[in-house]
C-alpha cells in the first residue's frame, strides 16, 4: 500500500508501486483521496478571498479540474511514452500520472494555510492570484520530479517530458479556464458559478491584465 510518506519522501518506492500490478490500485486510491483533499483545501483558501458561497464552490471545482486534466493527460502520457520507446502498461502509466497529481496536491494542501494567511492579511486581488499561481508552480515541480524519476535516465526522457508537459499544460489551462472563477472577479457583485460571456484575452491575457 502506497502511503503519503512514500509519495513525499521516496519517488523510487512510488515508482516501484506504480509498476507493480498488485499495488497499482492502491496507488490510485490513495492518489485520488489526496487530490480531492488537496484541491478542496486549496480551493477553500482561494475562495476565502470572497468568502461565503465562493469558498465552497472553489473547494468543489479545483479537485474536479485536476481530475479532469489527469483523466485526459494520462492516456496522452501512455501514448507519448510508448512512442518514444518507454514501454509500460496503460495501468502503470495512469498510476504514475495519478501519483504525480497526488504529490502536487500534497504541496497545495501544505500551502493552503499560507494562502489563507495572505488573504487574511488583506492582500489584493492581484496578490492573491499570483500567490495561488506560485503555489501551483511549486506543486507542478513536485509532480515533475516524480515523472523524471519514473522515466529513468535513458534516452528519450527529455522528449517525453517536453511533449507531455505541453499536452498537460494545454489541457490543464483550458480546464481551469472553463471552471473559473475561483477567486471571484472584483467586478462581480455576486460571483457566478461559472464565468459566461466574457472576453478577457484568454488565460494569458487574464494573468497579465490588472483588475481594479
pLDDT mean values, one per 10 residues, the chain (212 residues): 72 87 88 94 89 82 91 89 80 91 93 93 87 91 88 80 87 79 67 59 55 52
Cα–Cα nearest to 103, from 203, 5, 209, 204: 5
At residue 1, the pLDDT reads 55
Range of the domain at 175: 7-186+194-208
On whether residue 163 sits in a domain, the answer given is: yes
43 belongs to a structural domain: yes
Q: Are 101 and 31 in contact (CB under 8 A)?
A: yes
**pTM (2 d.p.):** 0.82
Specify if 123 maps to a domain. yes
169 Cβ neighbours under 8 A, 6+ residues apart:
none
Listed in sequence order, the residues at least 6 apart from 101 whose beta carbon sits closer than 8 Å to its beta carbon are: 31, 35, 66, 70, 143
Residue 1 lies in a domain: no
pLDDT recorded at residue 201: 46
In a domain, 2, yes or no: no
Calpha distance 8→3 (Å, rounded): 9
Q: Residue 188 — left, alpha, or beta (φ > 0 → left; ψ -120 to 50 → alpha)?
A: beta
**Residue-level pLDDT at 12:** 87
How many domains does the chain fold into?
1
Amino acid at each position: 500500500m502506497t502511503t503519503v510518506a512514500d509519495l513525499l519522501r521516496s519517488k523510487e518506492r512510488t515508482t516501484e508501486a506504480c509498476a507493480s500490478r498488485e499495488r497499482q490500485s492502491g496507488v490510485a486510491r490513495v492518489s485520488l483521496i489526496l487530490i480531492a483533499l488537496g484541491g478542496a483545501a486549496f480551493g477553500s483558501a482561494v475562495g476565502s478571498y470572497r468568502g461565503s458561497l465562493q469558498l465552497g464552490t472553489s473547494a468543489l471545482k479545483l479537485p474536479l479540474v485536476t481530475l479532469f486534466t489527469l483523466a485526459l493527460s494520462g492516456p496522452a502520457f501512455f501514448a507519448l511514452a510508448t512512442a518514444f520507446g518507454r514501454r509500460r502498461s496503460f495501468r502503470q502509466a495512469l498510476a504514475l500520472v495519478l501519483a504525480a497529481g497526488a504529490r502536487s496536491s500534497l504541496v497545495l494542501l501544505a500551502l493552503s494555510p499560507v494562502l489563507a494567511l495572505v488573504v487574511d492579511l488583506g492582500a489584493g486581488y492581484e496578490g492573491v492570484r499570483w500567490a495561488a499561481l506560485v503555489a501551483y508552480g511549486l506543486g507542478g515541480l513536485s509532480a515533475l520530479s516524480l515523472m523524471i524519476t519514473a522515466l529513468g535516465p535513458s534516452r528519450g526522457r527529455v522528449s517525453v517530458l517536453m511533449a507531455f508537459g505541453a499536452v498537460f499544460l494545454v489541457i490543464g489551462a483550458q480546464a481551469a479556464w472553463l471552471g473559473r472563477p475561483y477567486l471571484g472577479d472584483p467586478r462581480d457583485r455576486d460571483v457566478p458559478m461559472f464565468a459566461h460571456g466574457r472576453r478577457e484575452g484568454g488565460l494569458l491575457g487574464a494573468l497579465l491584465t490588472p483588475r481594479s
